[in-house]
């Protein structure tokens, strides 16, 4: 791939003017690529209706071309331009959660190229809640196709530095709006089947969705605790290895005491063998671990903030050269599906039950 000069522009959220975004918007209109913050993770944007721009996104990320892109819009009216047979539920969900971290899968109109949807007849659409993202969409006058702005397979980027580390020299522009709020990607709901189906868990939970449209189910592949050969994820992207840190990550389940005892024992063995170890814990449990690097997701009591540092921590362990990591499990929090889905993928589903190992 040819090397591109990557410009990074810091944007002060409290005082920026929409015209500050014009240079980036112009690059998008010319078919270029611009990374930008959203409330979930940083996105890598290109013109959603331009097949060549979509192809450049795949190339920059090294992303398999059957993995479709989410199209970002800045008003509900754009739904109709991109999708046909939009059901009532879509408008009810838009009313309740947009702008916000919810992506809807709908039947696509012909104007959306196959290059953007990975050849699918459906399109993923989201109206993000981030002033910089919205300014970029508005100033460019485009719908913006944007997957997460990481190199394919790496943890999703939650700061502009993460984007720079992965994509410097491969994209034209990065808008730096500081660290993101939520830290995991949007919830994806498929509204094209018989029943509404969650294809990816996120900050908007099943319970949140059910309050608005009634019964919603999970795609079995995204909540399964083990990879099942006979279940293929409905969102093409969910079948790929993802979020992978460079070292090995193992999820440890069980009582708090047994988890700490098991991890401390393994850490001791690994340290003795010359390995570099680390633990993903919370503020409450961090003091239980000895002789290792402990990074905390935050307080268990602040459940909705536990996703915030998840991907950043995986990248931090990479930077530290950690080759063996352990993480506590998070089954009893409101965002447990969102957190555990990411951790299972990062760990390649490797899980140990400490209650049985002690």
Q: Which residues are at the interface with ligand AMP (CB under 6 A)? A: 67-70, 105, 117, 120, 122-124, 147-148, 185, 188, 199-200, 235-238
Q: Contact region for Mg ion (CB under 5 A) — 51-59, 141-149, 189-197, 246-254?
A: 141-149
Nearer to Mg ion (CB atom), residue 62 or residue 87: 62
Partner whose footprint covers residue 325, from ligand AMP, Mg ion, none (CB < 5 to 8 Å by kind)? none
Q: What is the DSSP string of 148-215?
A: BSS-TTSPPP-SHHHHHHHHTTTSSEEEE--S-SS-SPPEEEE-SSSS-EEEE--SS-HHHHHHHHS-
Site string for Mg ion, 263-302 (x = CB under 5 A): ----------------------------------------
Smallest distance, Å, CB 183 to Mg ion? 13
Contacts for 18 with CB less than 8 Å, ≥ 6 apart? 135, 138, 139
C-alpha 331: how far from chain center: 19
Question: Please, is 14 exposed, middle or buried when counting C-beta atoms within 10 Å of its C-beta (0-12, 13-18, 19+)?
Answer: exposed
Nearer to ligand AMP (CB atom), residue 43 or residue 254: 43
Tell me the C-alpha distance between 353 and 53, whole Å.
Answer: 46
Radius of gyration of the chain (CA): 20
Smallest distance, Å, CB 174 to ligand AMP? 17
Partner whose footprint covers residue 53, from ligand AMP, Mg ion, none (CB < 5 to 8 Å by kind)? none
Q: Is 103 in the site for Mg ion (CB under 5 A)?
A: no
Smallest distance, Å, CB 167 to Mg ion? 13
Question: Cβ–Cβ contacts within 10 Å for residue 129, how many?
Answer: 18
Q: Which of 47, 140, 148, 158 binds Mg ion (CB under 5 A)?
A: 148
DSSP-assigned beta bridge partners for residue 248: 324
């Amino acid at each position: 791939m040819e090397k591109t000069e990557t410009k990074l522009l810091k944007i002060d959220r409290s005082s920026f003017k929409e015209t500050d975004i014009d240079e980036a918007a112009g690059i998008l209109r010319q078919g270029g690529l611009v990374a930008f913050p959203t409330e979930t993770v940083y996105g890598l944007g290109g013109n959603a209706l331009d097949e060549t721009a979509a192809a450049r996104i795949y190339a920059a990320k090294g992303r398999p071309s059957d993995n479709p892109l989410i199209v970002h819009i800045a008003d509900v009216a754009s739904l109709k331009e991109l999708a046909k047979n939009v059901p009532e539920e879509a408008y009810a969900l838009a009313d309740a959660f947009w702008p916000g971290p919810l992506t809807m899968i709908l039947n696509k109109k012909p104007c959306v190229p196959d290059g953007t949807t990975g050849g699918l007849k459906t399109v993923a659409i989201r109206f993000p809640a981030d002033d910089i993202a919205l300014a970029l969409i508005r100033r460019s006058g485009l719908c913006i196709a944007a997957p997460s702005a990481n190199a394919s397979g790496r943890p999703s980027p939650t700061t502009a530095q993460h984007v720079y580390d992965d994509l410097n020299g491969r994209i034209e522009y990065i808008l730096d709006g500081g660290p993101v709020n939520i830290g995991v990607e949007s919830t994806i709901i498929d509204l094209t089947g018989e029943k509404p189906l969650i294809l990816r868990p996120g900050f908007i939970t099943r319970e949140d969705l059910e309050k608005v449209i009634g019964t919603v189910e999970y795609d079995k592949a995204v909540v399964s605790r083990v990879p099942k050969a006979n279940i293929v994820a409905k969102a093409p992207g969910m079948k790929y290895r993802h979020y992978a840190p460079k070292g090995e990550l193992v999820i440890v389940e069980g009582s708090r005491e047994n988890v700490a005892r098991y991890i401390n024992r393994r850490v001791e063995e690994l340290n003795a063998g010359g390995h570099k170890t680390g633990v993903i814990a919370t503020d409450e449990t961090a003091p239980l671990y000895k002789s290792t690097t402990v990074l905390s997701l935050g307080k268990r009591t602040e459940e909705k903030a536990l996703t915030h540092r998840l991907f950043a921590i995986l990248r931090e362990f990479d930077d530290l050269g950690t080759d063996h990591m352990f993480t506590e499990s998070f089954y009893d929090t409101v965002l447990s599906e969102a957190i555990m889905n990411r951790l299972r993928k990062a760990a390649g589903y490797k899980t140990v039950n400490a209650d049985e190992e002690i």
